[in-house]
Amino acid sequence: MWLKPEEVLLKNALKLWATEKSNDYFVLQRRRGYGEGGGGLTGLLVGTLDAVLDSTAKVAPFRILHQTPDSQVYWSIACGATREEIVKHWEWLQKNIMSTLSVFDSSEDITSFVQGKIRGLIAEEGKSSLVKEEDPEKFREALLRFQKWFGLPKKEKLVTYYSCSYWRGRVPCQGWLYLSTNFLSFYSFLLGAEVKIIISWDEMWKLEKTSTVLLTEGIHVRARGEDYDFSMFLHLNETFLLMEQLADYSLRRLFDKETFEGDPALRDPLQITKRGLETRARNEQFRAFFRLCRSENLLEVHESFLWVPFSQFNTLGKICVSESYLCFASQDGSQCYVIIPLREVLGVETPDNGSKALTVCVRGKRALRFTEVRDFVHLAAKIRRKCGAGASPQHSGSGEVPAEVCQALIEHFEDNPEEEALMVGQRGSSRAVSTEALMTVFHPQDAENLDPKMLKEKMKEQSWNIHFAEYGRGVSMFRTSKTRDLIMRGVPEALRGELWMLFSGAVNDMAMHPGCYAELVEKSVGTSTLATDEIERDLHRSLPEHPAFQSDTGISALRRVLTAYAYRNPKIGYCQAMNILTSVLLLYAKEEEAFWLLVAVCERMLPDYFNRRIIGALVDQAVFEELIGARLPQLTDHMTDMTFFSSVSLSWFLTLFISVLPIESAVNVVDCFFYDGIKAVLQLGLAVLDYNMERLLRCHDDAEAVTILNKFFDNVTNKDSPLPSTVQQAAVGNDGSKSQVKVDITDLIREAYEKYGDLRSEEVEGLRRRNRLYVIHTLEDTTKQNVLRVVSQDVKFSAGDLDELYELFKKQHFLSCYWSMSGPALTHHDPSLPYLEQYQLGSGEFRALYCLLSPWAHCSSRDALALATFRLLDENQDGLVNFKEFCYGLDVLYSGSFTEKLKFLFKLHLLPVLLPGVSQDGVIRKSPERGKGKVDLQAYLKQWQDELLKKEESIKDLPRINQSQFIQFSKTLYNLFHGAPEEESLYRAVTTVTSLLLRMEEVGRRLQGAQGEGSPSLTGTADSTPLREEEEKEWSFAFEQILASLLNEPVLVRFFEKPEDMRAHLDHAREAQLKA
């Protein structure tokens, strides 16, 4: 590797380097302790220094220095990990540089020329290099070490590296931690003790920060059943953040098969950089905090003060600018933040240069004043440009808008509110779409009703109106602790839909996509998929006790929303519990608003909840269990099996308590959820368990605990609810006894915030990331056990061998995805398929694994044999082989009888050289429609039935093998015997059998020809030549003939019946799989 020329002090270096070659201008040196005579104390000391110190020499044992005859200064210009590499550089210098140097007059000119040439070479390499780091020189050195130490494929992209210690028992080993796209790697060499660790991100069960007396702060990793502890990081938080990002990326790409099309930082695994990962983490945090859509990215951050009119003071915080939003969040503990869509901005003013201030005018007669903005002129210009680019027709155009124009526009919208509604995307709905919330249709409020509950409802509305007047109304209102206090008391029925849209961010989604819902409804009407079938089945199970869903109006609206969403996001489609949640949304929001609320919940607020594996809900359950252990330890001490909490709480998370609480109480929980996210649900769950603590501690089994919780939920009421009794749900399971005390939902929510309100959203997100690894691997273990249980019935492998075989097969599947986003396993991935087909191999991956595991892999024609085996096992001709098919092939080779192995080999040669529709790589492009539309369950049932009724294949059912196929069959036999102890005897036996078969066929052909009427003479005339050629083409052999002939040769029978050591092949495959 060429190095940026750096001056070297050779006097002290002579103790560590030995000169091997030299001339007038260059010196080739070898590091002492490497190569011949490299052992002993010198080798140990030098190796230790190289592993601990940060220099090129710590891995490159060879280097080239530049010198001039009349100078004592040396310059390092190249290094090499191997003698071959450094000799190649040396020869290049001899050939291309030496002849030129003689024309220079001075040593300074020679040195300048050499340095310029080397820098030019490095620049040329950099053009095609994937390295895009802040210090490319150091990174190139680290990349060289990484490639030499770990021997990973060159395609593996190194992201970054850190100095740290790995704790082997109680002994710290100082070394270097390397983070790459697919692996975590560590290397240490201290006094002859080498430590080398390679862990793929997909193997990690646990990744967490730790702090103990011994390790101080460190990072703990659990993978492959072992624990790894790393500490003494200079930048611990940065390291952990990148590790989390890489682990999450690996899980989503390998297990969920995400393609990251909308994320340029992660789209190509060969182009991932540290900067890109850090930017992605920052963008995710920004979007989660302000509830923005995935297309928004954090572009700029400015520290400033914001004038808060209701408190009459300036609050310190940060301005965050994205493509479509200007956001502010306080940092002084006032919990004040505001979101300003740029479409709402009327103008930007910079009145006072002294205070570095700018004023942002927004619709609704409001202006926000920011002061002490360091780069306020640049920020103001940027906001103006963005407003001009995305402004509505009423205020298009760029540049600064004068104050009088701002005021005129404000008055215009005050006088024409319908135009304001248009700008936030609330018009343009389809005529077929309901434009009213179902609650206003089925339970209109009577303004003259003086019922105490209605009076209290009016008081709530008045409180919110006062809040709006003081803090603003709409998307750019201030959100503070007072806003949360009002939410905790319960949102008024008339304002619930508006506030849900506001706090969830759905109002922005709808404004950015005007008319999108009506278009989706139109396109999805009449479609028939698995999702639409499931939706139809669940329509009448959605709040069946509510009058709105006892009529066609409510059912039709629910159908349209769910079908439109399934059409918009086929990856999620439809999942149970979506119907219950959508029903409640339709009660309080217009149909289009309910659709965008559903989008916000499924894609932002509850990620990965609504899919076939409900990973998101399981992750939050794991987070909930961890919080119970930390906040309610006495309960965990009593409950020996924590799975009880999982089974009970699943419906709490999936339906936001809607399925367990009466509807009039559940909507208060939904209020809190839309304001605080999943944190509100976790807090309430802890409060419920805390409230019932004494009764739960007296329980003797899970059933008793479930009964206690069910009775509790039945007695949670909402005393302030204005809903009539026909709408409110009666307590289910209440036996009429008065022993159960009624609990008001408002009191329960207040208690949850008082006791557990210190739970921060950032803490919840961290717990989610940590538990996601464990949940996914637990699901993978369950899948593996199901697959092994099915496959073990059809093969003779031991349970241990089958388990290892599954891990190798799964790893090979992942290897096909490590450095590519377009392999056949990814292209044809379909999560709706049975678990047996979740991991499959294309022909290339199959060939690689087959060559590692097959006892016939030593054969010189193994690639052709592997391809033929792949085609034979691929019964449905989709270009992929699943684990069961793979095991069937190996089982014949390892455990089959002589007849079974011979029959398998015979069938391999019956296949044509190239099947129709098969490319040279063996992938059959036959089913482009696979995985789309409806899944034919009847076809699956028929396939399983056929497998159960499948009879043993008779040898008489096999077709005859023709002459060309027989010749190839014979060649394969010869290749199989190569290197066998009885190789000569086997060759002779095959020759004997082949000759015998050919003579038998010749005799049979002659007899058949002699018995035929009017057949030409075999004595040989000119006219008989074409007939003979035709007859030669018709030569063929039945399997019984070949079997009978081979059985006459005991040496052949012994060869095929010889037992093969499966364990040795598994061990070899485990070691060599990654390198292969």
Q: Which of 64-73, 488-497, 696-705, 757-766 has the lowest mean pLDDT?
A: 64-73
| Sequence-distant (≥ 6) Cβ neighbours of residue 437 within 8 angstroms | 497, 586, 587, 588, 589, 590
CA–CA dist 197, 460 (Å, integer): 62
- Rounded-to-10 torsion of CA 732, 736, 741, 742: 50
Question: Which of the residue ranges 895-904, 937-946, 969-978 has the most confident prediction, judged by mean pLDDT?
Answer: 895-904
Given pLDDT bands bounded at 50, 70 and 90, which one contains residue 713?
very high
- Write the burial class of residue 11 (CB in 10 Å: 0-12 exposed, 13-18 middle, 19+ buried): exposed
**In the prediction, which pLDDT does 1060 show?**
84
Mean pLDDT over 102-123 rounds to: 82
Question: Positive or negative, the Cα torsion across 885, 886, 887, 889?
Answer: positive
Beta-carbon count within 10 A of 80 CB? 22
**In the prediction, which pLDDT does 332 show?**
66
Dig out the tokens for 240 from the structure.
Answer: 């952990």
CA–CA dist 51, 805 (Å, integer): 36
The torsion angles phi and psi of 155, rounded to 5 degrees, stand at -70, -20
Mean pLDDT over 94-119 rounds to: 83
What is the residue type of 230? F
Pairing mode of beta strands 358-362, 366-371? antiparallel
Beta-carbon count within 10 A of 958 CB? 15
pLDDT at 425 over 50: no
Question: Which of the residue ranges 385-399, 772-786, 832-846 has the most confident prediction, judged by mean pLDDT?
Answer: 772-786
Who wins on pLDDT, 448 or 539? 539
How confident is the model over 899-929, as pLDDT tens digits?
998 999 888 888 764 333 334 444 433 333 3
Question: Which of the residue ranges 359-368, 478-487, 964-973 has the most confident prediction, judged by mean pLDDT?
Answer: 478-487
Beta-carbon count within 10 A of 5 CB? 20
Dig out the tokens for 428 from the structure.
Answer: 């343009």
Given pLDDT bands bounded at 50, 70 and 90, which one contains residue 395?
very low
Beta-carbon count within 10 A of 661 CB? 25
**In the prediction, which pLDDT does 586 show?**
94
Dig out the tokens for 252 from the structure.
Answer: 């989503």
**In the prediction, which pLDDT does 945 show?**
57
Question: Which of the residue ranges 4-8, 135-139, 868-872 has the most confident prediction, judged by mean pLDDT?
Answer: 868-872
Question: Which of the residue ranges 41-50, 409-418, 872-881, 899-908 has the most confident prediction, judged by mean pLDDT?
Answer: 899-908
**In the prediction, which pLDDT does 960 show?**
85
Q: What is the DSSP string of 947-990?
A: HHHPPPPPGGGSPPEEHHHHHHHHHHHHHHTTT-TTHHHHHHHH
Who wins on pLDDT, 60 or 600? 600
**In the prediction, which pLDDT does 1019 show?**
41
**In the prediction, which pLDDT does 833 show?**
65
**In the prediction, which pLDDT does 593 show?**
95
Q: Are the C-beta atoms of 879 and 924 separated by less than 8 Å?
A: yes
The torsion angles phi and psi of 64, rounded to 5 degrees, stand at -125, 130
- Helical spans, DSSP H, in 896-936: 898-908
Q: Are the C-beta atoms of 493 and 459 separated by less than 8 Å?
A: no
Residue 66 gets the label, from left (phi > 0), alpha (psi -120 to 50) or beta, of: beta
**In the prediction, which pLDDT does 432 show?**
56
CA separation (Å) from 228 to 200, 221, 223, 405? 13, 5, 8, 64
What is the value of pTM for the model shown? Answer: 0.78
**In the prediction, which pLDDT does 610 show?**
87
Q: Are the C-beta atoms of 780 and 255 separated by less than 8 Å?
A: yes
How confident is the model over 74-83, as pLDDT tens digits?
888 888 877 8
What b-and-e string marks burial along 560-591, b requiring 16 or more CB atoms within 10 Å of the CB? bbbbbbbbbbeebbbbebbbbbbbbbbbbbbb
How confident is the model over 523-578, as pLDDT tens digits?
998 888 888 899 999 998 888 888 888 888 899 999 999 999 999 998 888 988 89
Nearest CA to 561 among 650, 672, 429, 664? 429
Given pLDDT bands bounded at 50, 70 and 90, which one contains residue 36?
low
**In the prediction, which pLDDT does 52 show?**
53
- Rounded-to-10 torsion of CA 309, 310, 311, 316: -50
CA–CA dist 38, 18 (Å, integer): 11
**In the prediction, which pLDDT does 423 show?**
36
**In the prediction, which pLDDT does 429 show?**
37
